Amino acid sequence: MSIEREPLVTHMFTADPSAHVFDGKIYIYPSHDIPHNGEDNDNGDEYQMRDYHVLSMESLDSECVDNGLALSEKDVPWVSEQMWAPDAAYKNGKYYLYFPARDKEGNFRLGVAESDSPVGPFTPDDNYIPGSYSIDPAVMVEGDEAYIYYGGLWGGQLEKWQTGEFVPDAVGPSGDEPALGPMFAVLSEDMKSFKSTPQMLRILDENGEPIKAGDEERRYFEAPWLHKYNGKYYLSYSTGTTHYIVYATSDSPVGPFTYGGRIMEPVIGWTTHHSIVEIGGKWYLFYHDCEMSGGINHRRTVKFTELKYNEDGSIVTIQPYDHK
């Protein structure tokens, strides 16, 4: 029986899956939703994640294993709360876990932890990555270089950092101004700091003009992910308020990227967050929804489905529940 589009684990709530293949085995790095009875709000206070468990699968047809606690907020000196969506990377013979969390002042920062094993336990650095802020780190290793992409609006605080300093009451651009995009930087050789000054990725429309902030069906909100297919770089992300996963393409990992279309229509639940990985010569989208919890936004479960390309490299839009 296929487990495609079914929850990978049901004994806990998981979200924001970053999937990778290391040494022929599938590893998924999700966030861990903690059930509670608090209210939802635009600041994301309902997402009270406190630790990370790494999931693994021998193949897409095999059982998904929870490998236990990999990292907890109690292990990280600078963290106060809310360890949100992570990612992982392999370089220098080590596995690195990248994660966002609020520091002692309540500002989101990016942390890094290291392990000899893809499932941890991970040993965190004592402080966050210098110069980092916001949420949703995603790392792409290509040759000798490693690129990190990050940033999310509203609860993710990206719009608060437009001046380079945290401005608590800052708002995003107006509707006809260029939308904010994800930030990116080249990581240092030890994978624990920025080698380059972080910059904002440019996402353009079909006419080469920046996507506008008011274009909520196409503009960036959170959850960046980079993958490469047939020589092209694909930046995928969540549009947030309109709940789409969309993509843009470029000839370079640092852009600019041109909007390409939708990857997935809205799922049950407010957030949508994903990863894209090649497994056995096919491509797959890992994502989450709130179907198992009956639509409770902070009780999500991770799923996967095959992702298909057209001959021109465009991605076939997925209807998440057309198999029901």
Residues carrying an active site annotation: 16, 222
Q: What does the block give as tokens for 306?
A: 């095959």
- DSSP secondary structure letter of residue 309: B
Do 75 and 83 touch, CB atoms closer than 8 A? no
Render 145-195 in DSSP notation, one character per residue: EEEEEE--SGGG-GGGGTTSS--TT-----TTSBPP--EEEEBPTTSSSBS
Closest by CA to 292, choosing from 273, 272, 269, is 269
Q: What span, in angstroms and rounded, lies between the C-alpha atoms of 236 and 226?
A: 7
- DSSP secondary structure letter of residue 254: T
Give burial (CB, 10 Å; 0-12/13-18/19+) of 128.
Answer: buried
Q: What span, in angstroms and rounded, lies between the C-alpha atoms of 84 and 16?
A: 8
Token pair 């209807």 in the structure block, residue: 319
Token pair 């990016």 in the structure block, residue: 110
